[in-house]
Structure 1
Amino acid sequence: MTLALGLAGCDMLGIDTPEKKQADGKAIGAACRHAGRAIEDCYTLNAKGDKAAIYAGWREMDDYMRENKIEPVAPVIKPEDLLPKPKPPKPKAKPKPEAAEGGAVEGGADGAAQDEGASKRAKPTH
């Protein structure tokens, strides 16, 4: 009895048991069928789900909908909105400008500071 109580808390801890995975898969499959999604789309949108369980839920809902003449509900969210979007490619690093002969970079702040220092040394102060 203590073991049963201890295992009952697994759902609260977020631990997936085989029974929970099976039930989740069947619910996902049923929801996909009710939304009029093809089984292949359902697999793609739920890649981590158990495919056998998803199919079982999809098939059960299909039978139920046919028997009761229930029409699919059009999904509001498009599949492309559900799938993760690819990350944009990283921009390539721009090459650093080559130093001009003599070691100074043209037009840069370092080059301007070097020129000022040279002009101050050239003028004698009296």
Structure 2
Amino acid sequence: MKVTLDSPPAAPQPASPYYSQVARVEHADGSALLFVSGQIAEGDTLAEQTRGIFEGLTALLAAHGATLTDVINIRTYLTDIGELQEYGAVRREFLTGTPPTSMTFEASRLFRPEARIEVEVVAAVPAGR
């Protein structure tokens, strides 16, 4: 097993120099698991922030040969669980296949005060990608 930590230059850069955006765990058969750090995005509304997050996740996954269809687990942190339906509507625009396993939490505060949502994912990448 080989582990690579990465912050791909073509994708959103970390908000701090103290972590990497992606941990790629490669297995002997050539398949890999991608653990993507929690993502936040700018925007005035939850929908804008959510779209920005999923666009960023798309770029981070693409840098490692993956797409949103490879996502097997998603964790979402909302500052207001009452906005779950709004988040879900945008999420369904991006995750159109079989839904991944999921956990959603209400958090009183996130890394940046203006952030209303943070999302992290795990993706399974088949051999050869």
Q: TM-score, normalised by structure 2?
A: 0.27
Larger Rg: 1
As a proportion of its length, which structure holds more helix? 1
Higher relative contact order (CA 8 A, sep 6+): 2
As a proportion of its length, which structure holds more strand? 2
